[in-house]
């Protein structure tokens, strides 16, 4: 075992420690109180980002419900390193934002294309001036509605109402916003930064609301948390004719915390699960910048706690450990233990700090999964699995997905949902419910 493998669990436990977070939060709050500063929330808005348009709608409510000072920053798109599949991300972001908006009581319709460059530039010119106003959320909502309408002329109304900066001011604002985002350690728009922690999109706004409420910053006794409202599967009709393709990766912390909830949903609804594992992004040649990796680690801890899943004692399985486990997957699947192998490997790597690259570590995984190591030794380290896993990757890309965990839900009558992320499991259930309840 390498030195890195030995110390990795200690580093990740420290970084994800709730005691460390609590100490940091207390220190930040003491400093804020001593200085008499308000609860200052920095918001990073990307004009042509659908998730920014959703979040800024929620911020209209948020700034009214909490005693905060919102500090808006205009930012450019993420770097190529942070968004390696940029064109796919643009298409997916529009589709996903349109899909989830109604569940959050927000509005976004996918126009099918990105806004034209001159429209984006005009929107940025309006927003550059708007960022100086306390009514930035309202201004950004009006600009976003016009920008995403596909009608360039609709931007004239907010331009006349709110004014527009010149190109030099816009460039300065975008550069300043990018630097502010960089120095605090993030890479995306539609992000909020408060007291040393990041919150992305409407998906994570509830965490910030809860934190502010604990600090007494809520206006009113019971502020509502920003969470999706949807119909759950009631079991009145069978869903066994619906297929759920599940694309996990054994190096993804988000995948790990999705396993139990995905399997539970499958068991409860009766949908037909098709497991289609893929290689990790890094092993597919897709970079993960350090800021992105750190945010994913801390965000996974937060999401894991919310889901009641242990996480943080981590031994990174990148490389040979993942390949060894994958070499055993077809064999385990033939024994009806494919699900168990993937979950137990991920649990060992992300919750128990077990070095899964060694024979001893892999043997522990197999024992937990109900498999025999002595038998597995006759199979492990083969390359027969690679063609199947490449087919899985191609199928994932064909569904306009590339990150993990990804899902493709298919109804025999033609309904389809292709979505990405453990934070879309609720959306999968919502679709199952829509397709089956009372039918």
Q: Each residue of 295-354: pLDDT tens digit?
A: 999 999 999 999 999 999 999 999 999 999 999 999 999 999 999 999 999 999 999 999
CATH architecture of 38-214: 3-Layer(aba) Sandwich (3.40)
pLDDT classification of 5: cutoffs 50, 70, 90: low
pLDDT beyond 80 at 285: no
- Distance of alpha carbon 179 from alpha carbon 21, whole angstroms: 25
The three-class DSSP label of residue 263 is: helix
pLDDT of residue 93: 97
pLDDT beyond 80 at 284: no
Note whether 38-214 and 243-436 share their fold: yes
pLDDT beyond 70 at 171: yes
Tokens linked to 83: 């968004």
Q: Each residue of 48-95: pLDDT tens digit?
A: 999 999 999 999 999 999 999 999 999 999 998 888 889 999 999 999
**Sheet hosting strand 68-74, strand order edge to edge:** 68-74, 39-45, 191-194, 197-200
pLDDT classification of 221: cutoffs 50, 70, 90: low
- Burial class of 336 by CB neighbour count within 10 A (0 to 12, 13 to 18, 19+): exposed
CA angle at 390 for the pair 326 and 404, rounded to the nearest 5° = 70
Is the domain covering 243-436 a CATH 2.40.30.60 domain? no
Question: E strands along 130-285, which residues?
Answer: 191-194, 197-200, 243-247, 272-275
CB 97 within 8 A of CB 108: yes
| For residues 158-170, average pLDDT | 96
The number of beta carbons lying within 10 Å of the beta carbon of residue 210 is: 13
| For residues 186-214, average pLDDT | 97
What rounded mean pLDDT belongs to the chain?
95
Q: Worst-scoring range by mean pLDDT, 187-196, 214-223, 375-384?
A: 214-223
Question: E strands along 255-371, which residues?
Answer: 272-275
pLDDT of residue 270: 97
pLDDT of residue 438: 64
Query: What is the share, in percent, of the chain residues with pLDDT greater than 70?
Result: 97
pLDDT classification of 226: cutoffs 50, 70, 90: confident
CA-based torsion, 103, 430, 419, 338: positive or negative: positive
pLDDT classification of 152: cutoffs 50, 70, 90: confident
pLDDT of residue 240: 94
CB 46 within 8 A of CB 77: yes
Q: What residues contact residue 72 under an 8 Å CB cut-off, 6+ apart?
A: 42, 43, 45, 130, 131, 136, 140
Q: Worst-scoring range by mean pLDDT, 118-132, 224-238, 310-324, 396-410?
A: 224-238
CB 258 within 8 A of CB 405: yes
Query: Could you state, in order of their start, the residue ranges of all structural domains in the chain?
Result: 38-214, 243-436
pLDDT classification of 225: cutoffs 50, 70, 90: confident
Q: Which residue pairs from 174-183 have beta carbons closer than 8 angstroms and sit at least 24 positions apart in sequence?
A: 174/74, 174/75, 174/76, 174/124, 176/73, 177/44, 177/73, 177/74, 177/75, 177/76, 178/75, 178/76, 180/42, 180/44, 180/73, 181/44, 181/73, 181/75, 182/291
pLDDT beyond 60 at 107: yes
pLDDT of residue 6: 67
Q: Worst-scoring range by mean pLDDT, 33-37, 193-197, 224-228, 397-401?
A: 224-228
- Distance of alpha carbon 88 from alpha carbon 68, whole angstroms: 36
CB 81 within 8 A of CB 289: yes
- Distance of alpha carbon 355 from alpha carbon 73, whole angstroms: 42
CA-based torsion, 188, 21, 250, 259: positive or negative: negative
pLDDT of residue 9: 82
The pTM assigned to this predicted structure is 0.95
- Distance of alpha carbon 10 from alpha carbon 12, whole angstroms: 6
Q: What is the DSSP string of 133-159?
A: STTHHHHHHHHHHHHTTT-GGGGHHHH
pLDDT beyond 70 at 102: yes
pLDDT classification of 20: cutoffs 50, 70, 90: very high
The separation between CA 78 and the C-alpha centre of its own chain, rounded to angstroms, equals 15
CA angle at 335 for the pair 330 and 340, rounded to the nearest 5° = 80
């Amino acid at each position: 075992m390498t030195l890195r493998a030995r110390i990795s669990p200690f580093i990740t436990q420290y970084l994800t420690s709730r005691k460390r977070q609590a100490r940091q939060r207390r220190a930040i709050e003491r400093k804020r109180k001593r200085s008499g500063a308000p609860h200052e929330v920095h918001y990073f808005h990307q004009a042509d980002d659908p998730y920014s348009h959703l979040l800024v709608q929620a911020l209209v409510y948020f700034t009214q419900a909490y005693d905060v000072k919102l500090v808006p920053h205009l930012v450019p798109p993420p770097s190529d390193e942070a968004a390696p599949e940029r064109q796919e991300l643009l298409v997916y972001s529009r589709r996903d934002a349109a899909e989830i908006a109604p569940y959050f009581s927000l509005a976004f319709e996918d126009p099918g294309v990105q806004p034209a460059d001159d429209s984006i530039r005009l929107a940025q010119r309006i927003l550059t001036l708007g960022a100086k106003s306390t009514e930035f959320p309202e201004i950004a909502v009006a600009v976003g509605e016009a920008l995403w309408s596909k009608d360039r002329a609709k931007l004239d109304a907010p331009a006349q109402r709110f004014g527009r900066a010149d190109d030099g001011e816009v460039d300065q604002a975008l550069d300043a916003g990018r630097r502010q985002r960089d120095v605090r350690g993030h890479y995306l728009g539609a992000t909020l930064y408060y007291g040393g922690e990041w919150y992305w999109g409407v998906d994570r706004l509830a965490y910030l609301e809860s934190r502010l409420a604990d600090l007494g910053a809520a206006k009113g006794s019971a502020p509502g948390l920003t969470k999706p409202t949807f119909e759950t599967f009631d079991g009145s009709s069978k869903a066994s004719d619906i297929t759920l393709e599940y694309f996990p990766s054994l190096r993804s912390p988000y995948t790990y915390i999705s396993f139990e909830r995905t399997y539970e949903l499958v068991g409860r609804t009766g949908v037909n699960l098709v497991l289609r594992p893929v290689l990790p992004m890094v092993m597919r040649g897709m970079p993960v910048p350090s800021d992105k990796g750190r945010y994913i680690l801390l965000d996974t801890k937060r999401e894991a706690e919310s889901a009641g899943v242990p996480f943080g004692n981590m031994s990174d399985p990148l490389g040979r450990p993942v390949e060894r486990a994958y070499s055993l997957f077809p064999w385990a699947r033939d024994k009806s233990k494919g699900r168990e192998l993937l979950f137990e490997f991920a649990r060992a790597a992300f919750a128990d700090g077990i070095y899964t690259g060694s024979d001893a570590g892999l043997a522990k995984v197999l024992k937990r999964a109900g498999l025999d190591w002595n038998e597995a030794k006759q199979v492990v380290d083969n390359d027969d699995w690679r063609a199947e896993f490449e087919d899985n990757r191609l199928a994932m890309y064909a569904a306009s997905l590339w990150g993990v965990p990804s899902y493709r839900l298919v109804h025999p009558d033609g309904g389809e949902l292709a979505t990405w992320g453990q934070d879309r499991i609720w959306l999968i259930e919502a679709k199952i419910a829509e397709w089956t309840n009372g039918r």
